[in-house]
Amino acid sequence: MNEIALQHEREVAAGDRFEFGKNWANFLELLNDERIESAEQSLREMLEVDSLEGKSLLDIGSGSGLFSLAARRLGARVHSFDFDTNSVACTEELRRRYFVNDSDWRVEQGSALDLDYIKSLGAFDVVYSWGVLHHTGSMWEALSNAETAVADGGKLFVAIYNDTGSQAARWLAIKKLYNRTPRFLRVPLTIAVYLPDELKQLAKSVLTLKPMSYVRSWTRYKNARGMNKWYDLVDWIGGYPYEYASVDEIFEFYKSKGYVVTKMKTKGVGLGCNEFVFSKP
């Protein structure tokens, strides 16, 4: 077992890190063409391209591997890495399923906090890291490391949890609790945390005579980036380490490094992720 895998194992055992990869392994059982196409559309929309043919993409924190797969299907040469051992396995599984022995898709275990490792990979036309760098335990360092891999004229696509003040601070406490809770109690804890809000949404849909709107919030969730609502909820409640930033903080951070924002999604995200695409002149 390599040093990164050992570090990951130690942090999980200490209750200092959520096992994202095990959650994504369950998600892969639901993966189908419709979800993959939704992921592809998300990349096309945010990067404002029809294809990634002839481009290179670095996926920092590949997770389930879905967006590495989407980028490869759009024609990009892809390098995927993740800190989580099981996430690396998930990404390798998708490569095996869809692009077996493909020399244009490389999968490794690595850390977003290892600047030497990131520099060793070279420069990429697109550096992609969606909902990852705030889970490293050192978000600003990770955000800085990520931009070093962007080629001149390239794009940086990051998504970072929104700073909602005291609300975000309360969730930090919940996430710590989840990761220190015995495994057999984690599903009941997840249900207990989310049930009040789900009941409110259900009641609202019934009172407005639109009960199917609540049903669709689950059945059509895959239309948003091809994901699954339950596994996203587990990922959210367990997602620790956990940091967050305001829109202005992210904007100013990369502006100071010479980047220009080309696209953002920041409206109505609540505790969720603000999405940014920056261009490197």
* DSSP H or E stretch at residue 20: helix 20-27
CB 115 within 8 A of CB 138: no
Over 60: is that where the pLDDT of 35 sits? yes
Closest among 22, 149, 33 to 90, alpha carbons compared: 22
Whether residues 155 and 117 share a domain: the answer is yes
Q: At what angle do helices 229-238 and 166-180 cross, to 10 degrees?
A: 90
Count of domains observed in the chain? 2
Over 80: is that where the pLDDT of 226 sits? no
Q: What is the pLDDT of residue 248?
A: 97
- pLDDT tens per residue across span 49-62: 999 999 999 999 99
pLDDT mean across residues, the chain = 92
Q: What is the pLDDT of residue 207?
A: 86
**Tokens (6 digits) for 278:** 């920056």
- pLDDT tens per residue across span 59-74: 999 999 999 999 999 9
Q: At what angle do helices 186-207 and 229-238 cross, to 10 degrees?
A: 130
Query: Helix (H, G, I), strand (E, B), or coil: what is residue 84?
Result: coil
**Total Cβ atoms within 10 A of residue 201:** 13
Whether residues 101 and 121 share a domain: the answer is yes
Q: Which domain holds residue 192?
A: 166-238
User: Which residue type does 7 have?
Assistant: Q
Backbone φ, ψ for residue 108 (5° rounding): -140, 165
The upper half-sphere exposure of residue 18, i.e. CA atoms within 13 Å in the direction of its Cβ, equals 28
Handedness of CA 178, 181, 184, 189 (dihedral sign): negative
Whether residues 87 and 152 share a domain: the answer is yes
Whether residues 174 and 186 share a domain: the answer is yes
C-alpha dihedral (231, 30, 86, 44), degrees to nearest 10: -80
Question: Can you give the pTM of this predicted structure?
Answer: 0.85
Q: What is the pLDDT of residue 225?
A: 65
Whether residues 108 and 22 share a domain: the answer is yes
Whether residues 144 and 21 share a domain: the answer is yes
- Give me the mean pLDDT over the 145-157 stretch: 98
The pLDDT-based confidence of 25 (bands split at 50, 70, 90) is confident
**Total Cβ atoms within 10 A of residue 130:** 22
Whether residues 132 and 83 share a domain: the answer is yes
Q: What is the pLDDT of residue 21?
A: 76
**Is the model more confident about 217 or about 162?**
162
Over 80: is that where the pLDDT of 23 sits? no
Share of the chain above pLDDT 90, in %: 71
The pLDDT-based confidence of 224 (bands split at 50, 70, 90) is low
**Is the model more confident about 23 or about 281?**
281
**Is the model more confident about 154 or about 219?**
154
Per-residue b or e along 246-260, where b marks 16 or more CB atoms closer than 10 Å to that residue's CB = ebeebbebbeeeebe
Whether residues 226 and 259 share a domain: the answer is no
DSSP letters spanning 3-60: HHHHHHHHHHHTT-S--HHHHHHHHGGG--HHHHHHHHHHHHHHHT-S--TT-EEEEE
- pLDDT tens per residue across span 85-122: 999 999 999 999 999 999 999 999 999 999 999 999 99
Whether residues 121 and 257 share a domain: the answer is yes
Q: What is the pLDDT of residue 14?
A: 86
- Give me the mean pLDDT over the 133-144 stretch: 97
Whether residues 159 and 176 share a domain: the answer is no
Whether residues 230 and 251 share a domain: the answer is no
**Total Cβ atoms within 10 A of residue 64:** 29
- pLDDT tens per residue across span 241-272: 999 999 999 999 999 999 999 999 999 999 99
> What CATH code is carried by the domain that includes residue 274?
3.40.50.150
Whether residues 157 and 28 share a domain: the answer is yes
